[in-house]
Amino acid sequence: MSNKPYFQEKGFTLYLGDSFRILRKIPEKSVDVIFADPPYFLSGGGVSCHSGHQVSVDKADWDKPLTPEEKLRYNRKWLSLCKRVLKDNGTIWISGTLHNIYSIGVALELEGFSIINNITWQKSNPAPNLACRCFTHSTETVLWARKQLTPKKKGVHYFNYSLMKEINNGKQMKDVWQLPMVSKSEKKHGKHPTQKPLSLLTRIIEASTQPGDLILDPFNGSGTTGIAAAQLGREYIGIDNVEEYLSTTIKRYNDLR
């Protein structure tokens, strides 16, 4: 890659810039697993509840609503770039809500992926619904997919079945995971509006990678994917176009020393 990393140390690499541009610089078929938490496109003036107070759900310009057609084009574009850098036996995990996840599911199939699992992350402490006109939103979806190499051949992905069974008290782990939202301690260096809990990324990485594998997150945010990867002995590449978020990631990484 010709682009100089924003930060690099012991297999932990961060790039500042446009993910679409930087993904084109990463060598083809070099990444074992990708985790992506792309924009949900829900910053349209709505409100939610935080610490008992009404707050806006608007996050930034990158989260402004798109038409269904625009949304699908966007998702197909970044998924196509991710597919190029993913190894044939690698997998991709994508988190989202009802605002975007169905478009992503269609985009995955159109770009030549096969969905392995539809994980439901059930939040044990969700924010209440303020309007009282629908059920409380307490889940997010995480899609797990692999490459569809030919119409009849799929990538042979890695799955640490025995470990998942072990941490689930000796029983097969189901596709509904009850995990808490992000703790205050995980936000001490700064926070991201769609930050994911370390417990979620730890489980994903333990389930689908082996020590030394390379993990990529094209929407790095506050770097939870990278922190989990570093803790578990995996290499990491994170990309974000907001310097503040990369700075937060570096502070979190320095805490691991």
- pLDDT at position 31 is 98
Domains defined along the chain, listed by start = 7-42+62-128+135-254 (3.40.50.150)
The per-residue pLDDT for range 22-38, each reduced to its tens digit, is 999 999 999 999 999 99
Give the pLDDT band of residue 81 (cuts 50, 70, 90): very high
HSE-up of 208 (CA within 13 Å, CB side)?
29
Q: Which residues pair with 140 in a beta bridge?
A: 121
The per-residue pLDDT for range 179-212, each reduced to its tens digit, is 999 999 999 999 888 999 999 999 999 999 999 9
Q: What percent of the chain has pLDDT over 90?
A: 82
Query: In the numeric block, which tokens belong to residue 28?
Result: 């083809």
10 Å CB burial of residue 80 (0-12, 13-18, 19+) is: middle
10 Å CB burial of residue 234 (0-12, 13-18, 19+) is: buried
- pLDDT at position 53 is 46
Q: Is the pLDDT reported for residue 242 higher than 60?
A: yes
CA angle in degrees (0–180, nearest 5) for 58-59-60 = 110
Q: Which residues pair with 119 in a beta bridge?
A: 142
Predicted model pTM: 0.90
C-beta of residue 147 within 8 angstroms of C-beta of residue 113: yes
- Residue 84: how many other CB atoms lie within 10 Å: 15
HSE-up of 195 (CA within 13 Å, CB side)?
25
Scanning the structure block, which residue is given the tokens 């574009």? 77
Contacts of residue 134, defined as CB under 8 A and 6 or more positions apart, other chains included, come to none
d(CA 16, CA 176): 34
